[in-house]
A and B are shown apart, each in its own frame.
Chain A
């Protein structure tokens, strides 16, 4: 029996019940799903790809009866989902894990939440206990059984959500972008659990995702576009079809792009999706050219970083001995920063890396005085030292030339010069029109009221800079825009005051690969035309290596590494010791090194391609000149 079967399914969010509205569904775009024929075998692992709005989530909701098809038939293990008598049988069999870890937990205590499903279907008390044991064990969360859900990390929350679904003993598990809001560590936790469940419990998995590397784990992948299934096949096969992917607003995975560029340079490699495969292909291509080993010239040394003038002036950050304690002198006191030393020079595109809880967010909030050093507080009084106690080293924090340890500093002015874009900034939009929302900061910061013409000019410039059509969006409500557009409006609302430094916390979080690329392009444009310095906090090492001129690694409230990407990601072991990943390019280079090829690159994919090609042609080997 097929686990899931779709027969000519169409679905529209607009109900056509009313008599007057009797026109046939001719207009394109009315259907969220338009003629889907597809089936999944029991025990199969299927990945569903597609850009935002392609109908992926609709598909998921139809399978467990959260939505019913407008036309056609869907069966789950032979049960018709449109049959309302079977609804609970179907929902028992089909578990869905949603995107936001916070919005699918019902209870405050982990075990109570896992019990919710079995309670709903009337499982006897003793058996509920057994099911909780089983479910929490399956996701590796048994030690958190009596824990509080709100205290868990994102990955742990999603594992609890999976356990909550597992407790219903489903035969199909749908993950609707369940990893999109997680950091790499959480993503791995969740995927490991899913793979284990598939293997040990023979659960059929439908994984809706944006990440090509996740789709790679599946037996089969389907690509959706405008409510239709447009591609189907082996993931490794599908992900290499460049033109097709482009038509459906998807991007080629980065490794495949590198392979393409290498081939364009006359280097014959097959398309690869993993660093291991790429390193093997490159090494083979080298050996065909009778290069067995070699070394490229050292790249130039990092410029003198002891000179702090660039960090002390406009656009720079100079920070020494920064400490911060949350809830001081209470039992809940947590030391978030334990002496941060860092310099960020004007003009950098700076990356801040570190795990959740490493102190990076606390540090970043100091940059525009959302958190203040003790001496900058209005009520600051020097602490009396006990005899024999040495005073802690003084904190220095200069941002954009403002001394942030001085309470006389004009913090308002500072905030207009140091823009801050928080994670998921679209959730801060509030005004009736895009124009009013973007103008909000401008009006707040101006000392004297600005004329309407001045406001309009500034708002227009900001909206156009983020790539939106001013006349089209200015009078629209920000809430009717698409996700990516909202984020752009939120960024416009920050850059409208023309800050010298722009700080962004996870600017690309939750976007699909194309959206990510667009946002990063936008940031480079802003860096070039508007702000001297751009600082991004990111979990994505590839994002850091491709975009940043320099990056700092935070761990346990300190900066442990601060270097250019080319130097940073060479310290592969140190990064893994901190539990951090390396970008794809760095992994490939490290694997090539094991094979005897020492290629030095700044780890952007473009540079890697250049260096490999140069290495192959002999230009760059054994102390030759780098061709930059």
Chain B
């Protein structure tokens, strides 16, 4: 029963799934930094190695990980392509018309592609292994210091969690209304842009009305349960465990390693 399976979340019980969401968010940030300051093959190799290690422990099928890359494949190819042909380097490998491929361009393009690859894969791994609910909890907890500057952290978190909670309900409702209008002959699949936009109205209007009605009723229900937005306690408290320590050690090792490599080895890009 423990599934909040919409969005990307892949329910499983793994070391990575069980980590504190805050650890995972901080880990991701540190990892991205490490990837972008890596300027040697060794450093980037270390990043890639750590990613493969984490991914292997996450029990997430490779297929669902790669799915996310599919969406940005074109972007990846395009940037790599531009860099390959227009990077001004010294060692010319081949040249034709205005295109020149240099050794430096080749390396730079490869680096950029690997970096983007790792960036997307790592972010995907976070959403695959963390349910939206605990992701929200994690973000709320990490934003807590902002309370000092009167940033409404709690309200923001509540809004996020209510939004998450209503996604499946409104999705259902949308398909129900679409079916009802289809039964009355509405056509959502053919026609030009204007016709299609017009066709959406009979779905959109009832949906908005229903959302407003739901919001109104939810407001009453929250009031009735003593919600005031003021001081409240929190039942679920995120706690760091030994897993999180290991994660922090690993990522600290990576970042230090990458920095050391940057200092002692000549950059290749």
A contact residues vs B (CB 8 Å cutoff) = 61, 64, 66, 88, 91-92, 95-96, 98, 100, 102-109, 111-112, 115-125, 128-129, 132, 143-144, 146-151, 161, 164-165, 168, 365, 368, 370, 412, 415-416, 419-420, 422, 425, 427-431, 440-441, 444-445, 479, 493-494, 497
Are B1 and A104 neighbours in the complex by a CB distance under 8 Å? no
Count of chain B residues near A, Cβ 8 A = 51
CB closest residue in chain B, given A90: B226
A370 proximity list for chain B (CB < 8 A) = 179, 182-183
Contact flag A98-B221 (CB < 8 Å), given A129-B235, A150-B168: yes
Contact flag A112-B236 (CB < 8 Å), given A88-B226, A102-B169, A494-B183: yes
Q: Closest 4 interchain pairs by CB? A: A444-B185, A104-B221, A441-B184, A115-B235
Are B1 and A92 neighbours in the complex by a CB distance under 8 Å? no
Are B177 and A427 neighbours in the complex by a CB distance under 8 Å? yes
Are A96 and B179 neighbours in the complex by a CB distance under 8 Å? no
- Roughly how many angstroms separate A398 CA and B258 CA in the complex, as a whole number? 69
B208-237: which have CB < 8 Å to A? 209-210, 213-214, 217-218, 220-228, 231-237
CB closest residue in chain B, given A164: B225
A109 proximity list for chain B (CB < 8 A) = 4, 133
Are B232 and A119 neighbours in the complex by a CB distance under 8 Å? yes
B155 proximity list for chain A (CB < 8 A) = none
CB closest residue in chain A, given B204: A430
Q: Point out the residue from A100, A121, A440 that lies within 8 Å of B217, measured CB to CB.
A: A100
A430 proximity list for chain B (CB < 8 A) = 201-203, 205-206
B161 sits at the interface (CB 8 A): yes
Q: Point out the residue from A106, A112, A149, A415 that lies within 8 Å of B222, measured CB to CB.
A: A106
Are B133 and A108 neighbours in the complex by a CB distance under 8 Å? yes
- Roughly how many angstroms separate A124 CA and B231 CA in the complex, as a whole number? 12
Which residue among B161, B201, B235 has the maximum number of chain A CB atoms within 10 Å of its CB?
A: B235
13 contacts between A and B (CB under 8 A): A103-B214, A120-B226, A122-B231, A123-B233, A125-B235, A150-B169, A168-B225, A168-B226, A416-B185, A422-B176, A422-B179, A440-B184, A479-B209
- A165 nearest CB across to chain B (Å): 7
Are B235 and A121 neighbours in the complex by a CB distance under 8 Å? no
Interface residues as binary, B256-268 with A (CB distance below 8 Å gives 1, 0 otherwise): 0000000000000
A441 proximity list for chain B (CB < 8 A) = 184-185
B196 sits at the interface (CB 8 A): no
CB closest residue in chain B, given A419: B183
- A244 nearest CB across to chain B (Å): 32
- A323 nearest CB across to chain B (Å): 20
B235 proximity list for chain A (CB < 8 A) = 111-112, 115, 118-119, 125, 128-129, 132
B165 sits at the interface (CB 8 A): yes
- A443 nearest CB across to chain B (Å): 8
B contact residues vs A (CB 8 Å cutoff) = 1-4, 132-133, 158, 161-162, 164-165, 168-169, 176-177, 179-187, 201-203, 205-206, 209-210, 213-214, 217-218, 220-228, 231-237
A365 proximity list for chain B (CB < 8 A) = 179
Are A494 and B218 neighbours in the complex by a CB distance under 8 Å? no
Interface of A, helix, strand, loop or mixed by DSSP:
helix
B227 proximity list for chain A (CB < 8 A) = 116, 120
A150 proximity list for chain B (CB < 8 A) = 165, 168-169
B202 proximity list for chain A (CB < 8 A) = 428, 430-431, 440
CB closest residue in chain A, given B225: A117
B165 proximity list for chain A (CB < 8 A) = 105-108, 149-150
- B144 nearest CB across to chain A (Å): 16
Q: Point out the residue from A106, A143, A147, A444 that lies within 8 Å of B218, measured CB to CB.
A: A106
Given contact pairs A98-B224, A104-B217, A104-B221, a sample of 18 additional A-B residue pairs in the complex whose CB atoms are under 8 Å apart: A98-B217, A98-B220, A106-B158, A115-B235, A119-B233, A143-B1, A146-B2, A148-B2, A150-B168, A151-B3, A165-B224, A165-B225, A365-B179, A422-B179, A425-B180, A427-B177, A427-B210, A428-B206
A493 proximity list for chain B (CB < 8 A) = 184
Q: Point out the residue from A98, A102, A148 that lies within 8 Å of B4, measured CB to CB.
A: A148
- Roughly how many angstroms separate A96 CA and B164 CA in the complex, as a whole number? 24
CB closest residue in chain B, given A440: B184
- A560 nearest CB across to chain B (Å): 26
- Roughly how many angstroms separate A161 CA and B161 CA in the complex, as a whole number? 17
Are A66 and B223 neighbours in the complex by a CB distance under 8 Å? yes
A168 proximity list for chain B (CB < 8 A) = 225-226
Are B4 and A108 neighbours in the complex by a CB distance under 8 Å? yes
- B76 nearest CB across to chain A (Å): 27
Are B226 and A92 neighbours in the complex by a CB distance under 8 Å? yes
A143 proximity list for chain B (CB < 8 A) = 1
- Roughly how many angstroms separate A118 CA and B221 CA in the complex, as a whole number? 14
Q: Point out the residue from B4, B133, B206, B232 that lies within 8 Å of A427, measured CB to CB.
A: B206
- Roughly how many angstroms separate A147 CA and B225 CA in the complex, as a whole number? 21
Are B233 and A108 neighbours in the complex by a CB distance under 8 Å? no
Contact flag A119-B234 (CB < 8 Å), given A66-B223, A112-B133, A415-B182: yes
Which residue among B4, B165, B182, B213 has the maximum number of chain A CB atoms within 10 Å of its CB?
A: B165
Are A91 and B218 neighbours in the complex by a CB distance under 8 Å? no
A124 proximity list for chain B (CB < 8 A) = 233
- Roughly how many angstroms separate A431 CA and B201 CA in the complex, as a whole number? 9
Are B234 and A125 neighbours in the complex by a CB distance under 8 Å? yes
A497 proximity list for chain B (CB < 8 A) = 185
Are A118 and B185 neighbours in the complex by a CB distance under 8 Å? no
Are A494 and B233 neighbours in the complex by a CB distance under 8 Å? no
Contact flag A412-B185 (CB < 8 Å), given A121-B226, A427-B177, A428-B177: yes
- Roughly how many angstroms separate A368 CA and B180 CA in the complex, as a whole number? 11
- A407 nearest CB across to chain B (Å): 15
Are A444 and B187 neighbours in the complex by a CB distance under 8 Å? yes
